[in-house]
Amino acid sequence: MNYRHSFHAGNSADVVKHSLLIALVRALQLKDGGLTLIDTHAGCGIYDLEGDQAQRTGEAMQGVVRAFADANPLLDDYRAAVQAVNDGAEPRLYPGSPRILAQLLRPQDLLILNEKHPEDAYALRGAMRGTAAAVHERDAYELWLAMVPTRTSRGVVVVDPPYEQTDERARITTTLAAAHRKWAHGVTVIWYPLKDHETHFQWKKQLRRLGIPKVMNVEHWLYDSVQPGLYNGAGLFIVNPPYAFTQALPPLLEALRATLAPEGHRGEMTAEWLGG
């Protein structure tokens, strides 16, 4: 399944991913120690929702536009992050994870971004001009292993590939196992699209076999039944989520489910420990 960021910017998956990423980093920042934030598949950094690629899919209408139409205060932090790149106005530009992470940086934190595609890497450097981010143009999985353990005592690795390659899940599984051996206490966030239950069920079985003790799995299924051949939602594997994050998660997930449910569907948003 091909999932290039520019075609799907601001869709329901972005709303969930970025809402949870903000909550996760803020929970970690309850402690004063510095964080290293690493994005292995950073994309372009910022996206024009009125551009050709975003307009071709129109997915932002079912994502960020819905979030801005909902007054639920639990989505305030997410809306503020989007407004920050739009001078407080309604969203025309959409910040990718790099720009959102840059907004969260404290003086003691570090931000490392990576994008292998040359054109996207060029755009990323432009989007991050004026921030403290370091931008790399390397193989994502090589960089992931090279950057852990992080220079600071704590860190977060965000793995958000386009799933263009058939072996993407296998490479994630292999690299996660190797990274965990080097950095057992590190926080890792792995994003993935949901197309069918069976593919995801098999991947979860493989990840369980790694024996990593603390892996939370958040899933957002848009429809009340699987729609064959369609994008059905997205999920996150979160390794070593902090306690403050997991405790605050249920009401945030319910707010996101209610906001993003397509007309005629309730949708489903779940959070469970992978070993459970």
* Residues forming the active site: 160
Q: Judging by beta carbons within 10 Å of its beta carbon (0-12, 13-18, 19+), is residue 274 exposed, middle or buried?
A: middle
Instruction: Give the angle 103-67-80 at the CA atoms, nearest 5°.
Output: 25
Please give the structure tokens belonging to residue 56. Answer: 């071709």
The answer to whether the beta carbons of residues 31 and 80 sit under 8 Å apart is no
DSSP for residue 146: H
Longest dimension (CA), the chain: 48
Q: Positive or negative CA dihedral for 178, 200, 63, 80?
A: negative
